Amino acid sequence: MKRKTVFSFKLFGAAVILCTAFSCTNNDTNEASTLTDTAATVDHTAVIPTDTMISGPADTTATSMNKTVAAKPNPAKKGMKGKVTLAPTPPPAPVTAETRMEADASGVYANVETSASYAGGNDAMQKYFNSNLEYPAQATNEGVEGTVMLSFIVDEKGKIRSPQVVGGNLGYGLDEEAVRVINSMPRWSPAKVKGQPVKTRLTLPVRFVLE
């Protein structure tokens, strides 16, 4: 009887050890699985789009300038006569005590007391574009329309500097023609801060239309 009791006790002890070992292994597996799932979740939520663009008076990053958003040809408008329309220049934001009128590293002001302006205003600028812009033949042949967003600097002497397309290129010669015309414009009245002429950056939407 004593031998049977001892033998039974040993078997019971071995069973307990095996159960404990299995339980630990199972727990480790579950913990590893949980950690893997958690890591996967964290990795997934950490993905942030990198092509976000931030708009603003001085936003002319290489990413926004080189991006291509080619206009789509419209067979129904092939061969139609083209023209351009300019969006009215918005009035400057009111100057308050909190308004920061400081130049950036290149000496360009985003906020000014008096905005740069074209002689004769928006109507005169529209007439200048009408007289000087040639709707690209490639665009008329394909029936292409679209809006080119131009960003440019008006310096202290009213001269146009660094005209460039922002927000994406349309293609078909539209971007190049818009830049050519704005670059050929006569001098503007420069912006002013504390009565002194300063450099400022402006954005002008140039809309190409076929009709």
Both 78 and 174 in one domain: the answer is yes
Same-domain pairing of 112 and 206 = yes
| pLDDT given for residue 124 in this prediction | 96
Asked whether residue 162 falls in the same domain as residue 76, the answer is: yes
Please tell me the pTM assigned to this model.
Answer: 0.65
Residues of the chain with pLDDT under 50: 1-66
At what angle are helices 174-183 and 121-132 packed, to 10 degrees?
120
Residue 168 covered by a domain: yes
Residues 42 and 83 placed together within one structural domain of the fold: no
Q: What is the pLDDT of residue 101?
A: 84
Q: What is the pLDDT of residue 70?
A: 76
Q: Which pLDDT score, from 0 to 100, does residue 21 have?
A: 45
Domain housing 8: 1-47
Element (H, E) at 29: helix 2-45
Name which of 48, 40, 67 is nearest 170 in CA terms: 67
Count the domains in the chain: 2
